[in-house]
Amino acid sequence: MVSKNCVLISTFLVLVLHSTLLLGQENKASEGTVGDAKDCVVRGYVFRTGARFRLGCNTCACTEGVVACTLRACAQRVATTVCRRDGRGYVLGQRVTTSDPCQRCTCSRVGIVCAQEVCRNCIGYRPPGRCCSICGIPPVRSDRQGKK
């Protein structure tokens, strides 16, 4: 439904609100901001007559103090599966699981890309599931009675 301040013309919505387009927000422009009665104020920005600008997914134009915008809904970005491994799908940028803790794999536009982790050459403790050792003395483990 179009309110009495709005006129629907084909694919354009023309709002005549004293040169101001309000989209659920207060007008942020101060009273003295508009230099010409033919300017348009949109979300606090002043546009000269003849100016074209983007507002979300729509293209708008300022004409003689009136803002006209296309009525186009923004397409929702849906994560689509791009890569597959072991029956599981992955989206762009998602880390791909691997049984090798030394491999870091990611789903990219060219497929699954893996890099081998490089470890420092040191003697230390290598925790289960980790690729590289923690350099230094391994942690002290105690027996079941709490004795060292």
pLDDT > 50? residue 80 = yes
Confidence (pTM): 0.37
pLDDT > 80? residue 77 = no
Query: In the prediction, which pLDDT does 114 show?
Result: 93
Q: 145: left (phi > 0), else alpha (psi -120 to 50), else beta?
A: alpha
Query: In the prediction, which pLDDT does 141 show?
Result: 64
Q: Are 21 and 15 in contact (CB under 8 A)?
A: yes
Query: In the prediction, which pLDDT does 115 show?
Result: 92
Over range 7-12, report the average pLDDT.
Answer: 35
Exposure letters 116-138 (e unless 16+ CB within 10 A, then b):
eeeeeeeeeeeeeeeeebeeeee
Rounded CA separation 59/140 (Å): 66
User: Mean pLDDT across the chain, nearest whole number?
Assistant: 72
Q: Are 98 and 113 in contact (CB under 8 A)?
A: no
Q: Which domains does the chain have, with CATH numbers?
A: 6-70 (2.10.70), 83-135 (no CATH)
Q: Are 46 and 29 in contact (CB under 8 A)?
A: yes
Query: In the prediction, which pLDDT does 37 show?
Result: 76
- What tens digit of pLDDT does each residue of 118-134 get? 888 888 888 888 888 88
